[in-house]
């Protein structure tokens, strides 16, 4: 069973390249290197309906039921043998030498969030909105959809799924902080992101006032504390180090 985790990595991340490809639709541009007189459009935004469909598909990769591994699989993965460190072909772990299913889910969710919340992508969405090509799938609408979908809590979720949902919420908030402090993001993008942070903060405070679950209260406390720290000294605020993903694309073929 020692090699099971190495087999699991590419299977668990089988969606990584499709995720990257689909993300290019959002804020995407259909372009050709047209020449004078050929009447080809040289810079045309991807249709709004296609952008919304792409966003809907990517949001599925952030749902706990997609990210959670079955307990039967987790129990089959032993720690690395003595003398063998966890290398870059394996998921990072926050639990020492043991396989960490929460770190695996965070790595996968981080990929989707990094792609969706690239400042350049958000700038393009804002620019397309200003041009009138985006009327419903706007930057504000996208951030609101994030909020609604990531914070919805189905009653049927397992404890692992609830933990993963909270983890994804934390990651999303940290990405918003990073965009708000980005040198690349435009003023319009930063304004929308700060508004989204304000909205989330208000909702978190309302949830805290009525919550009776200690795990939920702990998650809410952490998120509110992060927002408070960000507001106090945004220029020095640091997000948690990203776990990253094991390498996926071929790196080389040896000495042949």
> What's the CA gap between 202 and 129, in Å, rounded?
27
> What pLDDT, in 10s, does the model give residues 204-221?
999 999 999 999 999 999
Q: How does residue 242 score in pLDDT terms, banded at 50, 70 and 90?
A: confident
Give me the pLDDT at residue 251, please.
45
Question: Which one is predicted more confidently, 2 or 98?
Answer: 98
What is the C-alpha separation between 155 and 138, in angstroms, rounded? 30
Tokens coding 244? 């990253």
DSSP 52-89: HHHHHHHHHTTSHHHHPPPHHHHTT-PPPPTT----TT
The per-residue pLDDT for 69 is: 96
Tell me the per-residue pLDDT of 126-176, one tens digit each, with 9 for 90 and over.
999 999 999 999 999 999 999 999 999 888 899 999 999 999 999 999 999
Task: Please report how many Cα atoms fall inside a 13 Å half-sphere around the Cα of residue 154, on the Cβ side.
Answer: 11
Question: Whole-angstrom Cα distance, residue 102 to residue 87?
Answer: 18
């Amino acid at each position: 069973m020692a090699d099971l985790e190495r087999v699991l990595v590419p299977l668990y991340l089988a969606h990584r390249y499709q995720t990257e490809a689909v993300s290019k639709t959002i804020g995407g541009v259909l372009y050709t290197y047209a020449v004078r007189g050929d009447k080809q459009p040289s810079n045309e935004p991807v249709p709004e309906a296609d952008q919304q469909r792409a966003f809907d598909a990517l949001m599925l990769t952030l749902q706990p039921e997609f990210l959670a591994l079955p307990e039967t699989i987790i129990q089959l993965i032993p720690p690395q043998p003595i003398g063998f460190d966890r290398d870059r072909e394996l998921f990072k772990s926050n639990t020492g030498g043991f396989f960490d299913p929460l770190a695996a889910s965070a790595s996968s969710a981080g990929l989707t969030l990094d792609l969706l919340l690239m400042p350049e992508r958000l700038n393009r969405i804002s620019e397309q909105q200003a041009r009138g090509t985006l009327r419903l799938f706007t930057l504000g609408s996208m951030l609101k959809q994030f909020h609604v979908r990531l914070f919805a809590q189905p009653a049927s979720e397992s404890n692992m799924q609830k933990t993963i949902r909270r983890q994804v919420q934390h990651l999303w908030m940290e990405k918003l902080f990073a965009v708000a402090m980005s040198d690349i993001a435009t003023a319009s993008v930063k304004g929308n992101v700060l508004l989204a942070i304000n909205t989330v903060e208000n909702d978190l405070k309302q949830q805290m006032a009525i919550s009776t679950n200690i795990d939920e209260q702990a998650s809410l406390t952490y998120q509110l504390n992060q927002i408070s720290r960000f507001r106090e000294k945004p220029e020095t605020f640091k997000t948690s180090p990203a776990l990253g993903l094991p390498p996926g694309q071929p790196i080389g073929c040896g000495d042949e």
